[in-house]
Amino acid sequence: VLDGYASFYEMELQQSPSAFYDTVAALMTTDHQAVVDQLSIDPYELQRIRKVVIIGCGTSYHAGLVGRYLIEHLARIPVEVDVASEYRYRDPILDADTLVVGISQSGESLETITALRECVASGARTIAITNVIGSQLSRVADGVLYTRAGPEISVASTKTHLAQVGALGMLAIYLGELKGVLYPDEASRRRQELIAMAELLRATLDRQSQWRAGIGDYLSREHFFFIGRNLLYPVAMEGALKMKELSYIAAEAYPAGELKHGPIAMLDEQAVVVALLGDDRLHEKMLGNIEEVRARGATILAVATDGDAGPDELADIVLRVPKSEALWSPLLMVLPLQVMAGWMAQARGYDLDKPRNLAKTVTVE
Ligand code: M6R
């Protein structure tokens, strides 16, 4: 059943490239045009959208946070993202020019369903991004973008997160095209870029033995910080969540620039700071943040792209991922974090598939 893997977590993580590929491929034609027949929202209505709201819980929420950057960058529409259980009680301001995207792997998280239902009642246009055909969320929303990750058994999500980001990328490109921000040839180039990421996901996962060398020393540590900037900040949040839920240790995520506004006081020789270093305009700033952390004696575990010498002198260990278009880098950077969280749980003898106190689907509020 487990295809030679010791847990569903490891097996499903390994299935991420195909989960991502199948999701993205189903949303485009072979000549890279959008396939949106399940959106059920008139393109003219979507053209009118002036605000996008994304809601979800846990890992799905983190995918939404990545989606914010994608939609704002590619479609130039302002995006709000909130956890579903909070959004509903904010007395949200919605109208027919707002598009609400509810993200849920299971399509059965009660908070996401109830929040989206209220958005429908307020007259907003709604889309569900879910992995389960016919799930409640898919029925509440006007339209659906399905992720095609196959069943995910492990409580901790892995492949569905990649598929969600893939679906959000496709939505961002489509909205960009409708809004006239992307010319049709640019939109089709972006789609090609996105689907080509599946290969890079595979190449990234092939590096696990490289990452493992040297990381053993840190697996027993108890206090982790994850830092990133811009679209790598949500990746830091997801890395911290994976570590918390699988290893039950303190792991916190911060936007790197925010550390000096308080949390840096907690840093000492006991702390490990996982720094996500993108190949982007914030690279230098991020290096500055890593230096601040280093000065406090913390261990630095950098995740960086191939050929980036920036962290060589500063970090205790550097996990490498392939170079990619910076916009799609969250897809690659999250993989070593998911893998590392699994190793940490294994080193502690914990069940990777059924972490304590958690249910795969949360149907209470
Ligand atoms: O099925 P959903 O995507 O709605 O579930 C949302 C969260 O409960 C879920 O992502 C949770 O955070 C996972 N255990 C994370 O690994």
Q: What is the pTM of this model?
A: 0.97
Closest-lying ligand 1 atom to the alpha carbon of residue 160: 3
Average pLDDT on 47-51 reads 96
131 lines ligand 1 (CB under 6 A): no
What is the whole-number distance in angstroms between the Cα of residue 316 and the centre of ligand 1?
32
What is the whole-number distance in angstroms between the Cα of residue 10 and the centre of ligand 1?
17
* Whether residue 365 has pLDDT greater than 90: no
What is the whole-number distance in angstroms between the Cα of residue 319 and the centre of ligand 1?
26
Q: Tell me the best of 105, 113, 130, 155 to mutate to test the pocket of ligand 1, counting ligand atoms within 8 Å of each CB and taking the most.
A: 105
d(CA 227, CA 256): 5
Q: What is the ipTM of this complex?
A: 0.98
- DSSP letters for 31-43: TS-B--TTS-S-H
- Per-residue pLDDT of 54-90, as tens digits, reads 999 999 999 999 999 999 999 999 999 999 999 989 8
pLDDT of residue 71: 98
Closest-lying ligand 1 atom to the alpha carbon of residue 360: 14
Task: Answer for the pair 328, 277: CB distance below 8 angstroms, yes or no.
Answer: no
* Whether residue 118 has pLDDT greater than 70: yes
* Whether residue 1 has pLDDT greater than 80: no
346 lines ligand 1 (CB under 6 A): no
Average pLDDT on 30-36 reads 89
The DSSP output letter for 359 is -
What is the whole-number distance in angstroms between the Cα of residue 186 and the centre of ligand 1?
33
Task: Answer for the pair 79, 67: CB distance below 8 angstroms, yes or no.
Answer: yes
Confidence of residue 329 (pLDDT cuts 50, 70, 90): very high
338 lines ligand 1 (CB under 6 A): no
Average pLDDT on 117-137 reads 96
- Per-residue pLDDT of 201-242, as tens digits, reads 999 999 999 999 888 889 889 999 999 999 999 999 999 999
Query: Nearest CA to 171 among 77, 87, 80, 93?
Result: 77
Average pLDDT on 137-163 reads 96
d(CA 319, CA 329): 14
What is the whole-number distance in angstroms between the Cα of residue 58 and the centre of ligand 1?
5
Query: Nearest CA to 105 among 80, 136, 81?
Result: 136
361 lines ligand 1 (CB under 6 A): yes
3-class DSSP state for residue 168?
helix
Task: Answer for the pair 225, 236: CB distance below 8 angstroms, yes or no.
Answer: no
Closest-lying ligand 1 atom to the alpha carbon of residue 109: 4
- CB count, 10 Å around CB of 307? 9
The DSSP output letter for 77 is -
What is the whole-number distance in angstroms between the Cα of residue 180 and the centre of ligand 1?
34
Task: Answer for the pair 57, 358: CB distance below 8 angstroms, yes or no.
Answer: no
* Whether residue 3 has pLDDT greater than 90: no
Average pLDDT, the chain: 95
- Per-residue pLDDT of 272-295, as tens digits, reads 999 999 989 999 999 999 999 999
3-class DSSP state for residue 332?
helix
Q: How far is CA 240 from the centre of its chain?
A: 12
Confidence of residue 152 (pLDDT cuts 50, 70, 90): very high
